[in-house]
Amino acid sequence: MSQSHSQAHRSSISQHSHSVSQFINEVEELSDAELIKQVNNLKQQIKILYLENEILERTIIRLDPSLLHGLQQALEYATKLQSTSSLNVGSFVKSQTSKFNMDSLISPSRMLTSPSRVSTKRVESSAKVSGTVIFGTGPRINVLERSELVSTEMEILISNLEKARSKAAKKHALLKAQLEEIGVRVAEVEKAVEMFNQVVLVEGWDKIAQRIPAEIWIRYMAEWMKITDSQIGKLRLRTSTLNTQYSKLKGQIKVKAELSESLRPVDFEKLKIENNECLEIIDRKFQQLGELKKMTGDANLNLTVHKKAMMEQNAYLADIFETIKTKQKQTVELDKERAVIERQADSLEQQLAVVQKSREAYIAPDVLEYTRARATAADLRRSVALLENSVRVQQNALAALNNKLGIIIIN
């Protein structure tokens, strides 16, 4: 085993020195622009190889992590082997690399690239066989297999991302609910403190005794306890309702999960047939609904016409009722007037009867007697006027005598 190992080591050193010498010869034939382009290509290929190695490592860890047990020892051995081969060809490399820095191109963990060919050589694969690391040519991975590995890793990453996103959303909702609860508690505490300051410290302060009476404090605490008990009862009722709803929804989810486990493709086909039948029924119902809408539109049109006619009839009927009320009021007023006129007519009939009786009993006097009566009445009026004048004169004289008598008595 040690002999095969030394042979493999010598063959590796010879191949490495031959590739390095070939690479140095080809580098001397390149211009600066081509060399920069080649270096950029190497960097891009190294980046791609790094991503491929990372995906392969993820795949191996996911499928069989035991395959990576001897990988670190293989990498360390490859590094030592690469360092040994570099020392053997160091004198030749130093003479040819005075202008170029080859440390970045000849790396123990990267592939050697030929500038004349854009394709890259694989890094020698390693495997751990009976505790000894042996270098050989491993199986190649084609483009389809790489694409499949990348797709699988992307699906896994997307699934993990969705799980993390769902977990973060749940945590965010929980934190938001906790913040809302803390905000409600803070508002209630601030409200309680404000009420306490207003009721106990401000309104309960006794200016005469310069203190807060204990009765106010006890009464406030008793009222506050009553309010708290009522709120606790409401919250308990609400909590019980929410727990009932939660248990109900949990049972529904459990039933749906059980049903989803017991479903078969035949059930989906049956459900599909039932859905098609339901869609046909829905189409028929939609057609019937369209016909019913058309009939409803015609009925609404007829209803509008009859409603308009009915409104006109109602307006005409309202006018008739108003006219009837007016006529009734006029009838009442006319009845009152008729009663008054009847009373007036009765009184006038009575007066007429009296006048008729007086007319029947009246006898026209003689003209001479009438003249004498007129003369007698004129004489009597003159006599009355003379008597009134004499009375006024006597009253004035009496007043004067009374005045004189009063003056005399005072003296």
pLDDT at 54 (0 to 100): 83
Neighbours of 110 (CB within 10 A): 17
- DSSP category for residue 127: E
pLDDT at 325 (0 to 100): 92
Would you list the DSSP string of 296-364?
Answer: HHHHHHHHHHHHHHHHHHHHHHHHHHHHHHHHHHHHHHHHHHHHHHHHHHHHHHHHHHHHHHHHHH--P
Closest CA to 62 of 130, 155, 145, 136: 155
- DSSP category for residue 119: S
Cα–Cα distance for residue pair 202/193, rounded to 1 Å: 12
Spatial contact of 217 and 204, defined as CB atoms under 8 Å apart: yes
pLDDT at 361 (0 to 100): 76
pLDDT at 23 (0 to 100): 56
- DSSP category for residue 120: B
pLDDT at 144 (0 to 100): 82
If 0-12 CB within 10 Å is exposed, 13-18 middle and 19+ buried, where does residue 97 land? middle
Residue type, 352: L
| Token reading at 179 | 């913040």
Contacts for 156 with CB less than 8 Å, ≥ 6 apart:
62
Containing 59, the helix (H) or strand (E) segment is helix 32-63
Spatial contact of 8 and 134, defined as CB atoms under 8 Å apart: yes
Cα–Cα distance for residue pair 82/77, rounded to 1 Å: 9
pLDDT at 182 (0 to 100): 93
Alpha helices in 97-213, H assignment, sequence order:
143-196
Would you list the DSSP string of 240-286?
Answer: HHHHHHHHHHHHHHHHHHHHHHH--HHHHHHHHHHHHHHHHHHHHHH
Spatial contact of 123 and 50, defined as CB atoms under 8 Å apart: no
If 0-12 CB within 10 Å is exposed, 13-18 middle and 19+ buried, where does residue 85 land? buried
pLDDT at 315 (0 to 100): 92
Residue type, 20: V
Spatial contact of 55 and 149, defined as CB atoms under 8 Å apart: yes
pLDDT at 248 (0 to 100): 92
Mean pLDDT (10-residue bins), the chain, 411 residues:
43 49 59 85 88 82 74 73 59 42 37 34 36 45 79 88 92 92 90 85 78 82 87 90 92 82 77 90 92 91 92 93 92 90 90 84 73 87 89 87 76 57
Alpha helices in 68-115, H assignment, sequence order:
71-88, 90-96
Spatial contact of 115 and 26, defined as CB atoms under 8 Å apart: yes
User: Given CA atoms 200, 201, 207, 210 in this order, what sign does their dihedral have?
Assistant: positive
| Token reading at 409 | 């008595």
Neighbours of 225 (CB within 10 A): 10
Spatial contact of 112 and 19, defined as CB atoms under 8 Å apart: yes
| Token reading at 210 | 């310069």
Closest CA to 24 of 102, 103, 83: 102
pTM above 0.85, yes or no: no
| Token reading at 372 | 């004498």
- DSSP category for residue 30: S
Please tell me whether residue 139 adopts helix, strand or coil conformation.
coil
